[in-house]
Amino acid sequence: MTVATTVNDVTSTTTTAAAQMKETLGMNKDDFLKLFITQLQYQDPLAPQDTTAMLGQLAQLTQVEQAYNNTAALEKLLLSQDSSLAMGAVSLIGKQVSADGNQINFNGSDSSIVSYQASSALSDTTMTISDASGKVVRTIALGAVEAGDKTYQWDGKDGQGSLLPAGAYTYEVSGTNALGQKQQAYTMTTGTVDGVVFYNGIAYVTIGEVTTPLSTVLTVKTV
């Protein structure tokens, strides 16, 4: 089945390239070859014409058509890659992913997983959560944090204990390292993929109100 599809694609590419070449130049290699054969049929046998120039032009046309074929084949290859990318993105729906980023999806009721990574042990560590406008809605004291991957369950409440509305939030985690220097932890966007969207040929996965490029996905787990 795959071989048949490939053969059909090649045939279609060649036909399309020849038609495109004819539309652009007024003729393709086949038309020129017919003209060449017709000229040979009607030439004076006692004074044959020098066909060197026509053979050179035929060779040039063949090269031009081959260039059209290569361009069309490349376009089909890119389209095939886009299709494979789309299928790969769709397969993530229902899976839990971690991606490069600092977004949190809060559905308005359930706690959200916040993931981060500390490159070294930190003290006086705090997590700052902001809403879509950039306003800080909660500052959480995490205290001493060991180096490595960490998660935190955010209950979706602000600093006064009030439940915040559903939506996309951002966060930062920072603390003090052993040298007394302020250090930012590496943050990740975590959640279950519920959709895939494409903007300008780029695939994005959606986690509730959060949208992140497929290329930023770091880990995938079955829920």
Q: What tokens were used for 18? A: 């020849």
Q: In terms of domains, do 72 and 114 share one?
A: no
Q: In terms of domains, do 28 and 110 share one?
A: no
Range of 81's domain?
Answer: 2-90
pLDDT in the model for residue 13: 38
Q: How many domains does the chain have?
A: 2
Q: In terms of domains, do 86 and 99 share one?
A: no
Q: In terms of domains, do 58 and 82 share one?
A: yes
Q: In terms of domains, do 125 and 147 share one?
A: yes
Q: Are 168 and 160 in contact (CB under 8 A)?
A: no
- CA distances in angstroms from 180 to 118, 122, 123, 156, 176, listed in the order given: 15, 9, 9, 31, 6
Alpha helices (runs of H) in 26-154, residue ranges in sequence order: 29-42, 52-90
Q: In terms of domains, do 81 and 100 share one?
A: no
pLDDT in the model for residue 22: 61
Per-block average pLDDT, block size 10, for the chain (223 residues)?
30 48 59 65 59 60 63 57 63 91 95 94 97 96 95 95 96 95 95 87 89 90 83
pLDDT in the model for residue 90: 79
pLDDT in the model for residue 89: 75
Look up the CATH number of the domain holding residue 113. 2.60.40.4070
Find where tokens 């559905």 sit.
Answer: 107
